[in-house]
Amino acid sequence: MSKFKKKKKGMPAVNTAALPDIVFMLLFFFMVTTVMRETELKIKTPKLPTADQVKKLEKKSLVSYIYVGKSKDGTAGDKIQLNDRISNVKDIKSFIFAERATHPEAEIPYLTTSIKADSESNVGTITDIKIELRDVNALKINYSTLQGSAIDNMKR
Amino acid sequence: MARRETPEINAGSMADIAFLLLIFFLVTTTMDTDIGISRKLPEKQDPNIVPPVLKEKNVFEVLVNRRDEILVEGETYMQIADLRKATIDFIDNGGGKNEDGTECTWCEGKKDPASSDHPKKAIISLQSDRGTSYGTYIAVQNELVAAYTDLRNRYANKKYGRNFEDIANEQQAIIKKDIYPQIISEAEPTK
């Protein structure tokens, strides 16, 4: 009788042998897409304004960034950061020339300057930057924003 | 003699190691979504050039003062939510003729003779103050660009049955040049 007694079946364990493969796949995905922030911000991280009429910046290598925001130690006024240090408006020209030097001649007309400015900063500072950019003929600019309704910028 | 099998390496903790790395990259990843309003700065002007004379009715003046208030056409205080509508009404008015004497047949505006003649002649002038906050400035710019986007979409939908973004590049170029050209002029901010 005991010959025919059915073996008691437990729930079979889920085979986890493929788990490392799945995790590795995810790992490689994130490794490939990760961009380590190349510049450390010396100013307070700008709170970008929101807008909905936005375009994507296509080629990252053609974009140079200008950060505008408040300084970390709380001194008044807008601070401009180029590369990794807080700079003066007058330094923008040499910054643009340095950026151009790292690109081949043919790419220069496509170079874009992205202005990442805090929504609390003054238009005057932005205008000063724009005048400097115009003087060196770096005419393509992009006001960096977040996706959202522009009307939210007005609410405080 | 009993053959000794080489013991297998225990790979059970492999997943843990991979998870650890995965979490590291998850945390450090910044999916940088670089989006923004693209604009082209005007080229440096020769100071000797005399600016062309414009009829005042063809200029839509938007003023933003240092208290972030918006003044339109020198008389109406406006909320940002109403700016887009007012801009569309101005561009799309079509009250007169273009330089070559053609009327705006695609305009749906009021044809008010006191407002703009033709979308090709309609100019938006944006004047801000140095003390205006950047957020407001972007909001105004956004609404002005949005007015053009809305009009171009309306035209593209009527003519091609699709949005402006989805039609062919040549068709886009025609709309950009002859139908609703985007003319936004920025004056130097007041001190």
Domains with residue ranges and CATH for chain A: 50-154 (3.30.420.270)
Please indicate whether residue B94 or residue B31 has the higher confidence score (pLDDT).
Answer: B94
**Whether residue B32 has pLDDT greater than 70:** no
Find the mean pLDDT for residues A30-34. Answer: 78
Closest Cα in chain B, distance from residue A52 (Å) = 7
Residues of chain B found within 8 Å of residue A118, distances taken between Cβ atoms = 134
The answer to whether residue B115 sits within a structural domain is yes
The answer to whether residue B166 sits within a structural domain is no
Contacts of B53 (CB under 8 A, 6+ apart): none
Please give the residue range of the domain that contains residue B119.
56-149+182-186
Closest Cα in chain A, distance from residue B47 (Å) = 14
The answer to whether residue B172 sits within a structural domain is no
3-state DSSP helix/strand/coil % of chain B, to nearest 5 = 35, 15, 45
The answer to whether residue B88 sits within a structural domain is yes
**Whether residue B89 has pLDDT greater than 60:** yes
**What CA–CA distance (Å, rounded) separates B115 from B164?**
26
The answer to whether residue B94 sits within a structural domain is yes
Residue A119 near residue A47 (C-beta atoms within 8 A): yes
The answer to whether residue B128 sits within a structural domain is yes
At A10, is the pLDDT very low, low, confident or very high (cuts 50, 70, 90)?
A: confident
Total tally of structural domains belonging to chain B: 1
**What CA–CA distance (Å, rounded) separates B117 from B86?**
15
Residue B63 near residue B76 (C-beta atoms within 8 A): no
Residue A7 confidence (pLDDT): 64
**What CA–CA distance (Å, rounded) separates A71 from A77?**
8
Helix (H), strand (E) at residue B28: helix B14-28
The answer to whether residue B132 sits within a structural domain is yes
The answer to whether residue B13 sits within a structural domain is no
Supply φ then ψ for residue B51, to 5 degrees. Answer: -65, 145
Q: Out of A2-6, A110-114, B20-24, B64-68, which region has the weakest mean confidence (pLDDT)?
A: A2-6
**What CA–CA distance (Å, rounded) separates A145 from A55?**
10
Residue B123 near residue A38 (C-beta atoms within 8 A): no
Residue A37 confidence (pLDDT): 62
For testing the chain A interface, which of B33, B138, B151 should be mutated: the one with the most A CBs within 10 Å? B138
- For A78, the token pair is 């807008």
| pTM beyond 0.90 | no
Residue B2 confidence (pLDDT): 60
**What CA–CA distance (Å, rounded) separates B111 from B95?**
4
The reply to whether residue B44 touches residue A35, judged by beta carbons under 8 angstroms, is: no
**What CA–CA distance (Å, rounded) separates A17 from A40?**
41
Helices B80-91 and B134-160, axial angle in degrees (round to 10): 40
